[in-house]
Each structure stands twice: as C-alpha cells, then as structure tokens.
Amino acid sequence: MDPKVAIIGVSQTKFEPDKSYEDIPETVFRVVKEAMEDAGIDKNDLGSIVTSSVDLWDGRTASNQMLVDVVGSIMKPESRVAGDGLGAAFQGMMTILAGASEITLIVSQCRGSMGAHYEISNWVFDPIYQQPLGLDYLSAGALQANHYMANYGISQEDCARVVIKNRSDAKNNPYAQVKNETTIEEVMNSPMWAYPIKEMDAAPISDGACAVVLASGPRAEALSNRAVWILGIGSCLDCHYLGHRDLSGGDALITASNRAYSMAGISNPLKELDVAEISAAFSYQELLWTELMGFCDRGEGARILKEGLTCLRGLLPVNPSGGMMAGNPFTVAGLTRLVEAALQVRGEAGDRQVKGAAKALCHGTTGFCGQGQYVMIVGN
C-alpha cells in the first residue's frame, strides 16, 4: 500500500511490577505529554484519540473514562479498544485513511498488578461451558505449548533459550522491567505453573503505558523529518472455542502476516525485514510466532534461535527490547512493539539499536492462544 499514514511521535513508561505510587491518569498524562512533544504538536492539533484498556485489569467499569482529560479528548472524538494496543493503532490508522482525522493519538495502559492476573483472564472464555472449567490465559497457553512441542519436537530447553535471549537483550533497554541474565538451568528449575510453562517461561506481571502519534502523509511531511511510515498491516481473528482450532496451526497469524507482507511488498521476511518486535506472553510463543510469520519453516523456530539468527546481531533480530519476557503488560504490549519498531527505524533505540534498521515488523495479539492477531510493517 502507498505510505499515507506515519508515526511522528512515540513515548513509553518504564515498566514495573507495581506502579501504585502514582494514579493511572498520572502515568498516562506523562506518556501523552512526551509523545506530543516528540511529535512537535500540542492537544489542539489532535483530530481524534484512540485509547486501549481493559476494565477488569484496571478494576473499574469503562476504565477509559478516567483518561478523558489527560488524553485531550474533551470536545474531541475518542474511541476505545478493549484489547491490545496495536489494535488501537489499526483503529487510529483507519480513522486517518477515512479522512476523519489528520492527527490521531493512540494511548494504551494497563495495571497488571491490580488483580489476580490469570484468574481475571478466565472472563474471556465462554461463560456457559468453558469458564466453569477454570480456563485462563495460563492454562490455555499450556495446552497450546504441549500441542506445539509434541507436534514439532520442541523441548523445554528450546523455550528456555528464548528467556535467556530476551533477558540478555533487555539489559540494553532502560524501559525494561526484568534485566537480569539467566541460564537454562535457572529457567528449568523455576516453579512449574502449568506444564510445561514454568514461572520464568511467562511474562512477569507488569504495569505501564505507552503512546503513539499518527499523522496523515501531508501532515507528517510538514511536521517531522523523522516520520516512520506504515507500509503494511494485517489482522485476523480465529475461532473462539479452543476445540475449534488447531492450536499450533495459527491460521490467524499466518493470514495477518501475509496481508501485511503483501501490502509492504515483502516476499522473504527473514531477509527483507531488519528487526521484529513480537508479543509473546510465554517463551514457547516466540518460537511458534516466528514460524507462523514465515521467518522459517514449521518446527524450525528453535533452530534459528539456537543458530543466532534471531539474536541481537543476527540476520533478523527478534525482540531486541527484551519483549514481554522483560516485562510489558497485556493490552500495552502490542503498542510497545510499535514504539520499539519506530525507534529502531529512526535509529534512536540506543544500545539495543539494530544497525541499519530500515524496515521493522511489530506484532500484537489479543485473547487466549493468539486468537486475535495484528501485524504491522513500518519503515522509512
């Protein structure tokens, strides 16, 4: 697709296990202010706002209502995505392409520390047949992990290498929550939560927020000499019932990726992309998602990691920020991936910068076991 929408401003908080020392509006106000300053605009320039939050994780109904003033949506249109922040960016992009806005602010926030995180995720399942079983993101993830590992010969040690890579890369990220390096033995010996997922295989509970400013082509060119263009997008929603889909088949992510690649003119993502920021709440998912995105053949995700192809200095670095393994809350994770991708393309990612990054993939997911998938390609 022709580049008609660009990212002109980005901001993110430091991600922490508990941000109760400040109110949610304070956290959001800071990232909004910093993103607008990065874009060189103020609230009067905004044509629309899209917020991303989930009521149950914030402990209140219509949780976006507490953000109305701090995101600048008084007397301005605001829409709310009750899901992943990258989905909110899709909504903001469509608002601009539809001609309803020239500059749109996207804000995503979540306080994972405010409740029993996995128990809360039980609410996304069918209330009649599946919620009473106690299914949640963790137990459903364990079902998916077993299916994938059994079908493709992936070991727990293979998954542990994902944790090792991401924690090592997170040392270079000032916004990361978890930065301590680890070993296969430490990951393998961490408490078993839901076989084969151990404590260190799961993204830590996290609090934080991020913001992105999108602009139409003419406004982006007028306002910024660091604009990062959206080159391709794709999204897809899989079946709701776990039993109605192949848990390691990943039709939704395959479809979303192929749509984004087609728009961006990409035929070989492993060679044509410079960096990828992927939302993986569990270690096995990074391996599975890279396969479904076409970085390698099925069952080869562990191999390309072991050979260093997806490491920071590899052919296609995956999650040089540390990804969700280093601490990003659900809901915020996808938009954080976009922030990180934009920083890479702008050459402003500091010690986690991938040399010469000109084209980046970012990914978000919503629901359990990757039910909803978003893929976006950005570049200069």
Mean pLDDT of the 46-51 span: 97
Give Cα separations from 255 to 23, 74, 86, 238 (angstroms): 39, 38, 16, 10
Would you place residue 221 in the very low, low, confident or very high pLDDT band (cuts 50, 70, 90)?
A: very high
Structure tokens at 90: 């899709």
Give residue limits of the domains in the chain. Answer: 5-115+205-223
Residue 62, phi-psi category: left (phi > 0), alpha (psi -120 to 50), beta (remainder): left
- Phi, psi values for residue 101, rounded to 5°: -160, 150
Q: Which CATH superfamily is domain 5-115+205-223 in?
A: Thiolase/Chalcone synthase (3.40.47.10)
Mean pLDDT of the 113-135 span: 91
Which residues does 30 contact at the CB level (< 8 Å), separation at least 6? 11, 13
Distance CA 50, CA 72 (A): 11
The yes-or-no verdict on residue 1 having pLDDT over 50 is: no
pTM confidence score = 0.97
Chain mean pLDDT for the chain: 95
Mean pLDDT of the 355-368 span: 97
More confident residue, 299 or 117: 299
Mean pLDDT of the 73-85 span: 92
Can you say how many angstroms the Cα of residue 299 is from the centroid of all Cα atoms in its chain? Answer: 23
Q: Are 77 and 57 in contact (CB under 8 A)?
A: no
- Bridging pattern class, strands 228-237 and 48-52: unpaired
The yes-or-no verdict on residue 39 having pLDDT over 80 is: yes
Predicted pLDDT at 115: 84
Would you place residue 31 in the very low, low, confident or very high pLDDT band (cuts 50, 70, 90)?
A: very high
Q: Are 164 and 315 in contact (CB under 8 A)?
A: no
